[in-house]
Structure 1
Amino acid sequence: MGTPPEPLNQVCRCYIYAVHGYFLEKIFAAMVGEGSPFQRAGSLGSFLVYGLCGLTLERVYLGLRSECCLLTRCILYILSIYSWEFGTGGLLSCFGACPWDYGDYSYNLKGLIALEYFLFWFVGSLLLEKLVICNTLRLLLAEEWKAKKKPLPRFELTDD
């Protein structure tokens, strides 16, 4: 037989979280009517932000799943999301590249986060834990799908 299946590595999980975040952003934009959902193209930076935030929330989940109730974890997820959004938004703003501006909202912090989205983040973090993180952590990579090492061809100079 072969070796037992292995869990996905961090890069694969980061990719899953990035794709999930990107499409949720587009669905949310369509729901709240912010123009065409695919009008603004995503960037490599947004994929990186979503993927790394997903890995961060995965760590929160793994560390607290047996210690805290679901409500407490969701509150911690929201605080993590707001911190992540504020930090990455502030960093991107230094380069004039922050794609969001919540300056028109009543309860915003420097235009980088809007407290009005608390309920959306709550529902989103609940769904993220129950549907995305739990299922992503269950994915296994079987041996058949691993790249098999093939010997490199040998090139030798011979006399003709």
Structure 2
Amino acid sequence: MQKSRYLSGIMRWYVYAIHGILCEILFTSIWDVFAEKKCKLIGVSSIWAILIYGTAIFLIEKMSFHLKRKCPLVARCLIYTLWTYIWEFSTGYVLRIFDACPWDYSHFPGNIKGLITLEYAVPWYFGCMIAEQVVIKYTLRLQLLQDGNKGKGK
């Protein structure tokens, strides 16, 4: 008989980190097609993205538990987008102290200290919506199967 258990917090964090890195690589490659007219589809990310995305989406998961009863989806995604900007600015600020910040938005007109840019508000908004409505929703449903016959000579 097989038993199952839901993913632990650290396992969900890992799924969110991998999702974030994948989305960043896809976004940067597609952005280059339209903004830079480069058709090679070469996306970029940073090792820091594991910590940044994993933690950001994990905390959005926690926020969603509290906000779903109180706010409609549009308002929740605005809150998540604000959180994303705060998190991106904060982590970028700390990484910049150590000369390790992998992004610089200084060339965008809507940038704030080169750490965030208002031009990304719409992609962040829809990214947050996808995070809540798809990634978090289905990650919370994932289960690990455990063999119930362990130690019984099988």
Give secondary structure in 2 for the equivalent of 1:142.
strand
User: What is the Cα deviation at residue 89 of structure 1?
Assistant: 0.2
- For 2:52 and 2:106, the matched residues in 1 are separated by 21
CA apart distance, 1:39: 6.1
Check whether the contact 1:105–1:114 (CA below 8 A) recurs between aligned residues.
Answer: yes
Q: CA RMSD in A?
A: 2.1
Which of these two proteins has the greater Rg computed from alpha carbons? Answer: 1
Tell me whether 79-88 or 133-142 shows the greater mean CA deviation: 133-142
Give SS of 2:140's match: helix
What is the aligned length?
Answer: 145
Query: Under a length normalisation based on structure 1, what TM-score does the superposition of the two structures give?
Result: 0.82
Percent of aligned pairs with the same residue?
A: 38
Amino acid at match of 2:46: G
Matches within 5 A, 1:7-156: 7-33=6-32, 38=42, 40=44, 42-43=46-47, 45-144=48-147
Residue deviations 1:14-46 (CA, integer Å, cap 9, x gap) = 110011000100111111106665564631x22
1:144 Cα deviation from its structure 2 partner: 2.4
Q: Secondary structure at the match of 2:101?
A: coil
- Measure how far apart 1:11 and its partner are: 1.0
CA gap of 1:81–1:41, structure 2 versus 1, over 3 A, is closer
Higher fraction of strand: 2
Distance 2:69 2:44 in 1: 40
Q: Unaligned stretches of 5+ in structure 2? A: none
Relative to structure 1, the CA distance from residue 120 to residue 141 in structure 2 (aligned partners, 3 Å threshold; closer, same or farther) is same
- Unaligned ranges ≥5, structure 1: 150-160
**Structure 1 segments (4+ residues) deviating >6 Å:** none
